[in-house]
Structure 1
């Protein structure tokens, strides 16, 4: 009886909450599942599960063993996936979702480099600033920007995303430079549709009350807002991955540096680590090392 088989059976029993459900999922008989668990407990000389007529529950030793099993099995699956990638050509269509501006500005070179490394993988890129349902929309990997919420998905951080408050020098000469976030209420503000900008400053005592911005222009695209700010249209709050070139060239001036919102993260999100498709694993591994701790768009600032 293989030790890994018994560990996988134990994990499935815990996750399904019953021997019969685990047996159905593993395509085994309930008797064989019970035999595997008993053999595992005997080999460990400890009871892992409390069995009653109504339910199963983990003992303290069982809970500790379960956590170790999850990591061991995940590591083995990942190792086997990597070995499989070396043994055969990785192919198939990989569907990737990414934010609109980040995708258009910073994905083209990455995608070219990835396809040079994995020419048999076809890429289907879907750009949207709306949050997609990975499973329902058939997405293999979603590139997301923000503060990753707890979920059943796996999230791997790729790089930090810094947020800057900016305006053109000409605008600031004519309208003045705000010294606190509260003074932004007296300026022309260029708003991004999907952000709650008052919440960006929620951590500062000076702005404990909700700010009421003078939202002269609202748009669902950060590049449009940054380009409008360059022309003197107002003050904009956007990520440096959109505005770094304009900042480096002096077309925009960074203001309120002491009040900048907390950095967000650039993440890759995918459905499940276990039995991860080789094409997904290749992309995740490739992107996770691509931008580095200080992305190139922040190197110029």
Structure 2
């Protein structure tokens, strides 16, 4: 973890008298503040606070460490002032995590465009369908498609991800075409293990509608679900960005047009808004423009 940020967190805890107050001031989650404090105590090799149920107080080692951390932060600020005299251009490495479908359909192209615009930067992309732990997995930025973010996370909405109900012509020829969302309950629906496996949510004429669905195949990868849909295995709810090329080519048919699947948000999740590196800020701004322009 970044020791400069860990030192800043430690100083803020000491000055504010609690982890919760420090988290609020630094615009971090309580869990992240706790991790930075643990890193400081591991770094110094000693306990820095006496903890009670109501308040925390510095140990003698903590008082000595506080002086050194303040000196270190003052020096870091001077170094930052020197660097600001140079051209304000993003540089460095950013570690990003996202799902396979998002990487394949949109993010890889977005990152390639970003790297062309900012040639002094580099991106390490981790493709993983599970929800990564930013600290443990050493990820700077996770891109997630969801409407149910943990309220303790620091996140920025980058854009919208609409979905479409679709099936192959072969499936529809054999099983018939559903006229509305309720008809999906009697069809073989291919479901994504991490989202909406048993209940698909729609909007009809501005009103919410939930339909229970089931089928003989589910997977934890939406790309696999898309492939099975193309093979005629059943009906799927897919991101528009994934299904659109196949709908345009006639390999898939968009269904129940009067019932719109609930649009999900595309979010950038990161550890803190404080002392954010220029590469992070510029990437978040770039992706906001990218997803906004692409209308995925």
d(CA) in 1 for partners of 2:293, 2:186? 37
Asked whether the equivalents of residues 91 and 279 of structure 1 are also in contact (C-alpha less than 8 Å), the reply is: yes
Structure 2: gaps (5+ residues)? 1-10, 23-53, 69-76
Alpha-carbon offset, residue 289 of structure 1: 1.3
Aligned to 1:27: 66
Alpha-carbon offset, residue 153 of structure 1: 2.8
Matched residue of 2:276: which SS? coil
Aligned to 2:212: 211
Q: CA RMSD in A?
A: 3.6
Aligned to 1:13: 16
- Tell me whether 1:128 sits opposite 2:131 in the alignment: no
Alpha-carbon offset, residue 240 of structure 1: 0.8
Aligned to 1:291: 291
Aligned to 1:271: 271
Alpha-carbon offset, residue 291 of structure 1: 2.5
Alpha-carbon offset, residue 245 of structure 1: 0.6
Asked whether the equivalents of residues 200 and 212 of structure 2 are also in contact (C-alpha less than 8 Å), the reply is: no
Q: Give the direction of change, closer, same or farther, for the CA distance of 1:111–1:206 in structure 2 (3 Å limit).
A: closer
Aligned to 2:141: 141
d(CA) in 1 for partners of 2:64, 2:121? 31
Aligned to 2:171: 171
TM-score of the superposition, structure 2-length normalised?
0.68
d(CA) in 1 for partners of 2:125, 2:201? 33
Asked whether the equivalents of residues 222 and 238 of structure 1 are also in contact (C-alpha less than 8 Å), the reply is: yes
Aligned to 2:96: 96
Aligned to 1:40: none
Bigger Cα Rg: 1
| C-alpha distance after superposition, 1:225-260 (max 9, x if no partner) | 223222322111111111011112222111123333
Count residues in correspondence. 238
| C-alpha distance after superposition, 1:79-101 (max 9, x if no partner) | x99x9497355332210001111
Matched residue of 1:200: which SS? strand
Matched residue of 2:112: which SS? helix
Aligned to 2:181: 181
Asked whether the equivalents of residues 159 and 293 of structure 1 are also in contact (C-alpha less than 8 Å), the reply is: no
Matched residue of 1:266: which SS? strand
TM-score of the superposition, structure 1-length normalised?
0.66
Q: Give the direction of change, closer, same or farther, for the CA distance of 1:97–1:10 in structure 2 (3 Å limit).
A: closer
Asked whether the equivalents of residues 188 and 234 of structure 1 are also in contact (C-alpha less than 8 Å), the reply is: yes
d(CA) in 1 for partners of 2:14, 2:284? 26
d(CA) in 1 for partners of 2:65, 2:244? 52
Structure 1: gaps (5+ residues)? 1-7, 30-76
Asked whether the equivalents of residues 94 and 280 of structure 1 are also in contact (C-alpha less than 8 Å), the reply is: yes
Alpha-carbon offset, residue 10 of structure 1: 11
Q: Give the direction of change, closer, same or farther, for the CA distance of 1:172–1:121 in structure 2 (3 Å limit).
A: same
d(CA) in 1 for partners of 2:209, 2:96? 38
Asked whether the equivalents of residues 161 and 239 of structure 1 are also in contact (C-alpha less than 8 Å), the reply is: yes
| C-alpha distance after superposition, 1:102-149 (max 9, x if no partner) | 102212222222112222222111011111111221110111101142
